Chain A
Amino acid sequence: MRGRKKDSGEKKNDLQGFRLTRRKFLKLTAIAGLSAGTFGIDKVSPEAFATSSFPSGSRGRWIPTSCLNCSSRCGISVKVEHGRVVQIKGNRLSLVSEGQICPRGHIGLQVLYDPERIFTPLKRSQPKKGKGIDPQWKPISWDQAIEEITRKLRSLRESHIPHHLLLFSGLNSRSHEDLILRFAEAYGTPNLVSGEGLDDEAERAGRWMGDGHFEPFVYDLDHTHYILSFGADLIESAPPVARWLRKWGKIRRERSIRAKVVDIQPRYSLTASKSDEWIPIHPGTDAALAMGIAHVILKEGLFEEEFIKRWTVGFEPYRELVLKEYRPESVSKITGIPAEVIYRVAREFGQTRPALAIGGKGALAWPGGSYTSYAIHCLNALVGSLDTPGGVLYQEFPEYRALPKIEGDEIGRKGLEQVPIDFRRTELFPVARVVTNQIPKSLREGKPYPIEMAIGFNSNFMMTAPGSGEWGEALKRIPFYVHISPFVSEMAQFADILLPATTYLEEWGYEHSSPGGGFVEVRIKQPVMKPMGESKSIGDILFLLAERIPGTVTNAFRRIGSSVEEFVRFRTSSFVGWEEFLKKGVWRGPGYEYRKYSRIFQTPSRKFEFLSGNLKMLQNGKKKMMGQAAPLMPCYTKVKWLGEERQYPLLLFPYQPLLTFENGSQNYPWAQEIFLPMQGVGWASPAEINPETAAQLNLKDRDRIWIESPFGKIQNSVKLSEGVPPNLVCIPLGQGHTSYGRWQKGIGCNPNEIIGVDFDRLSGQSTFFNTRIKLYKA
């Protein structure tokens, strides 16, 4: 997920040298102190938490903890009555979302009490693996489970092939991410694969090209006056979700100046409906539009001269490129947006300060998406919206107490030196940190080496990765697969041993957001009730495993405590007292300081670069990871579609509605029954098509159809909608589960089954939108 694991100060296999280490950076910030430009984040007093707006006379207790239904990890307050969890609301003290949560936050109740949770370790007795094959689970004891798993783990190490262990990490708490990472390092495998390759890698890479931060963008929503959104569903999915929902109300009607929001995306989304203007764009052409807008800004001198002169390099070649190649008239032909509109929007953007350009996955999860992200980043730089009130911010991260160094042995060191099986940071994916969707291919081909064993921590790439069918084929080939999650997810169906994890309401941890609000905020995750059944938190399971892998692993874990609770206490003790943390649930650092230009740019020139020095270094570096022809400036490249236009005339367009639980589980009736507010329906994921298209294909509302791509076909029902352009087929994500749960199984379809596997080569980002399809009646 967003910043799923990288942000803890500890991570080693990060891109060294791409930026300052966070610790140094924080120190600098701290020294600079609370000088000019900090904004008041302390206006909510601790008392606010005590006066819950439900009268205090009622029974029950409110306990502060954190939500984990998506990667925003909001601070929440949970009400426990008679030992049962009955209500969830935002923790007033958390300022990332000003104490608000999104609707999914409340549904934590149904996550916790999901009737289909598993409560004991399970072992499969059906040797055959595959989609739809019943694993014939047999309950086993924890002791037996841990013993069987560690026996295998020990034997890999004994055979000097620790790198033949593959770890999958889905949506997990920061604390658990840190523990998983520590486990991988101590054990000696470089193959820790998170879902980030499915996530926002292109966005990060684009940012990195400009300012050297390989991080998602963070925006100062409080102060911005103009938002130009390229393919980000600001109030449906743009992270952090609850922050956006809250700030939307604020910027629209709680200030004297109402921010204007322009939503650029092909389909009429919820965000489009609530924005001031919706500009439909041809899919995959956002880079061209961004450059076209830059053209007007450059030509008409609307840019922030001061800033550009002092704090940027490469402006001249960039200006030349933009002026030469991206005239609004020609951009109009590419994007399908009238030139007048481009002129008008560009002028609005260029003349309103502060203004923000935002790129979402819709614009970036395309081949070449990094460059699109870069192009959008450059727009912000042009109008000086970097590290200013109302501009792009530089997220600050907490300084957790450092973990004792792992004293690795020879086996582990050798293992860590191996090429990771997803080929990150090779010529294939030069700046990638993780290439999630490369795994199936590597597993199938056994390259660069075979995988003997895998452990899945809460991941469900069988649902969420494009070409999800390939994951089934690949998982079958893992001789020993252990899955850890609270439910029997699609991926869990392939497990040899399945361990019952607790949900986030029953476990210890710490959380911080990235992206958040710029300032540092750490939130506690504490159990609001005893773990149900025999379930254990992922962290505690890691401690159990470590205990039985003598040597480096045992040592690495012994030194950080004996349970997650102790671990959390240890890590946070550097900045907050335990009792206070337990009571308030939130710790916040100093206010955010703007305009730290002299130290935020982590580029060779220490300035914002319109011509990327970071890329150039890759090109010229020792490893020669990038060809000489690769562009160093933002650019638009024509989309390479998967599938022939003649045979597959339509485009498949998945999106994430607000009530999608990060695609992991959807077994929640509260979310299901109101799943698609814009369509007024629930319990479904209909394919929305334009009535014109429907007429051509002779389809009516609710007809059953086949959706076929070069990679397969799925069945679905049709919903006519005027909000969809004639050549698109929009399908919400989150449905189409084939495993666990009477409230989700067999409902709707999962478009990932027929989406082709493709990447933004630079960042390893999976692409989601460039698959062609056709429709016909079922």
Chain B
Amino acid sequence: MEMNYSTINGTSRGYKILMVFLGAMVGVFITSFLVAYLKGQQVWGVSNIIPWGQLITFYIYFIGLSAGAIIISSLSYVFRKETYEPIGRLAVFMGILLMIGAMIFVMVDLGRPEKAWRLFMYFYLNNMSSLFAINSIFYTGYITLMLIYLWLIFEGKKQLAVVLGTIDVLWAIAVHMGTGAIFGLIGNREIFFSPIKPFEFLMAALTSGTSLIILIAVVTFKLTRRLIHEELIFSLSRLLRSIILILLVTVFVDKLTHLYFPNREATLYLLTGDYWWIFWIFQIGMGIGFPLFLLTWSKTKKSIRWVIIAALSVVLGVFGERAALVIPGTAHPQPFFPGKMEGPWGEPAIFPITFWESLLSLSIVSLVVLLFVIGLRYLEILPEGRAEGKS
């Protein structure tokens, strides 16, 4: 059965308020960016000990969401699972926007954002052993592929879409594993260094991507008064449950590897130090334990509402997972010399949540939402309400 898609008409009051708000956030974005650009990153929480902060956390988080979304979209366009058709376009579109968001995050995090072009001088000015340089190939390729993919879908070129979708999925996997490798290959940071870090990234991407799609689908469909196919959601939630399980195993193996042998100081710090709560409450509790429980327990797994709560929990939890990597990963002092180092060099650093950095992060998120809402207004992304209503 052919599915019809439509735009939203954007006449409702809610839509207008949302647009005004999001428009204002663009102003906030520009301001907070300029403040940091002119005054320097001293207005943020980053330091010589914790060089990467909120923005990098969002950056890897968004890349994960994007990759997750693309992989989910493949269910519809590559594997031709019809159940997933209503969210197919949505997923691809989100994949693109999230990736753009991720790029904005990483660009504004640069100390000299105007030199960002230097990241894209493949092979010529770049050092190709740097994962940032490698990833810049992945990222540009990825965005290009996604755009073509979306275009093919819009054009209804299904055969080509299958081919491109396949490449795109593989590419998305590479993108995200590459992002994981930014951390996983850093041998001097105990918390980062792990061969399965790329894989863990991928799994986290899938859980968060799937959950985000569940959330966005439900929210947009609801707000635009479209009916949503319950089976779609439940099917996604079963998928989600399996990936969370894999993620759990991955995280377990990763931490076990780090804890088993005595050089476990930094990992112990992660589990029990200043940021224990990010790991236990966000990463493990909200990202894995709680949703797994909701999606397994017979009473809750059959309820749309609980599935949504589980998805929300995963989305927040995986953000925590990213934060638990970026911040405690560098906060713990590096053991330059055996013994207790005195003074600041021997103490874990604390990452302060600062006004301008948070504002910048939030405004970039808003920017992505803005693009999304505009997209819905002008592109036929959502399935037609009535068509959906039939089933």
Contact = CB atoms under 8 A, between A and B. Distances in A.
Is there any pair of Cβ atoms, one from A and one from B, under 8 angstroms apart in the complex? Answer: yes
B346 interface: yes
Contacts of B341: 680
Contacts of A681: 342-344
Interface in B320-366: 341-346
A678 B343 CA distance: 9
Interface in A668-695: 678-681
Nearest to B341: A680
Nearest to A678: B342
Nearest to B340: A722
A678 B345 CA distance: 12
Nearest to A676: B343
Nearest to B343: A680
Interface residues of B, number: 6
Contacts of B346: 680
A28 to B, nearest CB: 52
Interface string B43-71: 00000000000000000000000000000
Contacts of B343: 679-681
Nearest to B344: A680
B257 to A, nearest CB: 32
A679 B344 CA distance: 9
Q: Which of B341, B342, B344, B345 is packed against the most chain A CB atoms within 10 Å?
A: B342
B302 to A, nearest CB: 52
Nearest to B345: A680
Contacts of A679: 342-343
Contacts of A678: 342
B336 to A, nearest CB: 12
B340 to A, nearest CB: 9
Contacts of B345: 680
A505 B122 CA distance: 53
A678 B346 CA distance: 12
B380 to A, nearest CB: 61
Contacts of B342: 678-681
B337 to A, nearest CB: 12
Nearest to A722: B340
B240 to A, nearest CB: 45
A479 B341 CA distance: 53
Highest count of chain B CB atoms <10 Å: which of A679, A680, A681: A680
Contacts of A680: 341-346
A679 B340 CA distance: 11
A200 B38 CA distance: 54
A681 B341 CA distance: 11
B301 to A, nearest CB: 48
A185 B266 CA distance: 69
B329 to A, nearest CB: 23
A201 B236 CA distance: 87
A444 B290 CA distance: 76
B47 to A, nearest CB: 15
A273 to B, nearest CB: 11
A679 B346 CA distance: 10
Interface in A639-692: 678-681
Q: Which one of B343, B344, B346 has the highest number of Cβ atoms from chain A below 10 Å of its Cβ?
A: B343
A28 B64 CA distance: 88
B44 to A, nearest CB: 22
A719 B346 CA distance: 14
A269 to B, nearest CB: 14
A678 B341 CA distance: 10
B273 to A, nearest CB: 16
A680 B347 CA distance: 11
12 contacts: A678-B342, A679-B342, A679-B343, A680-B341, A680-B342, A680-B343, A680-B344, A680-B345, A680-B346, A681-B342, A681-B343, A681-B344
Interface of B: 341-346
The 4 closest A-B pairs by CB, nearest first: A680-B343, A680-B342, A681-B343, A679-B342
Interface of A: 678-681
Given A678-B342, A679-B342, A680-B341, 7 more contacts: A679-B343, A680-B342, A680-B343, A680-B344, A680-B345, A680-B346, A681-B344
